[in-house]
Amino acid sequence: MGATTLERWPPLRLADWSDTRDTLHLWTQIVGKIRLALAPPINHWWHVTLYPTARGLTTSPMPYGEGAFEVRFDFVDHRLVVDTSDGQERVIPLAPQTVADFYHGLMTTLRELRIDVRIWPVTVEIPTRVRLDRDRDHSSYDRAAVERWWRVMVETDNVFNRFRGRFIGKSSPVHFFWGSFDLAVTRFNGRRAPERPDADAMTREAYSHEVISAGFWPGSGSVPEASFYAYAAPEPPGFKTASIRPAAAMYDDAFGIFILRYEDARNTGDPGDVLLQFCQSTYEAAANLAGWNRAELERR
């Protein structure tokens, strides 16, 4: 707990752990799909997300039969833990192994606990579809790299929760989307958003109401490095040219979001404060331009 600021925010170059990131992403999709299959639906697909803990990510308790169970990633001791409400626990070591082996190992563990769950074993939200129960191409697990990523996630979660506490309107929890492998928090003003008749069902539900969102992910697409992001949906006119703090933040036309590269934040020497500025300034710009009733939505 006595680490320096930059030790708490370690270097996180995607090139240093891209193979491990890809494998871990697929593992989280397997666990996330179990939550999707069992958790009661909640608005905006919040029932499918994973949640940060002090040691990793969890499904939180999921109902099953006359009780509940929970699946959690422990990135401190590097293990996957399945706990049941009747006191049983099973542990699967997190180590180099194929996605297929991880899939079958977890499903076997659940069957041993008399938990019968079926998922669609195909990836979502990545360019190439992968059969999770057959994939033997992804098998990397670099413990040190995962720990670096996890330390950044812990610090980011802390900042996002501070930011969330300033808002008294409807807000998502800080949660982890396993489809896109990002941590996010989203604010709502209560107004319905314009319909998206050509969008898929997931997108229509996710953006049924006006939102302003902030998040973190380790790199993707046209943003190949770890970055923080912020966007408004629908985006109000003038948002992309708004003055955003810090000065290193930029608007990415391909994604339609503001981007603050993780290294740019880290190089300031106080990444947490800079991230909070980024979240607050993008929110203020979007809320003002979109006419949100900020006096009713914010904690004074």
Q: What is the pLDDT of residues 225-241, one digit of tens each?
A: 999 999 999 999 999 99
Strand partners, 52: 57
Domain match, 121 and 210 both: no
pLDDT at 1: 59
Domain match, 164 and 272 both: yes
Domain assignment present for residue 146? The answer is no
Q: Which of 76, 106, 141 is the last residue of a domain?
A: 141
Domain assignment present for residue 188? The answer is yes
Domain match, 171 and 96 both: no
pLDDT at 145: 98
Domain match, 118 and 248 both: no
Domain assignment present for residue 13? The answer is no
Q: Which of 91, 110, 141 is the last residue of a domain?
A: 141
Question: What residues of the chain score a pLDDT lower than 70?
Answer: 1
Domain match, 243 and 271 both: yes
pLDDT at 6: 87
Domain match, 136 and 157 both: no
Domain match, 186 and 277 both: yes
pLDDT at 286: 98
Domain of 80, in residue numbers: 18-141
**Structural domains in the chain (count):** 2
Domain match, 164 and 63 both: no
Domain assignment present for residue 6? The answer is no
Domain assignment present for residue 96? The answer is yes
pLDDT at 144: 98
Domain assignment present for residue 11? The answer is no
Domain match, 117 and 206 both: no
Q: Which of 121, 141, 161 is the last residue of a domain?
A: 141
Domain match, 130 and 200 both: no
Domain match, 261 and 221 both: yes
Domain match, 229 and 133 both: no
pLDDT at 217: 96
Domain assignment present for residue 137? The answer is yes
Domain assignment present for residue 176? The answer is yes
The pair of structure tokens assigned to 271 is 């990444």
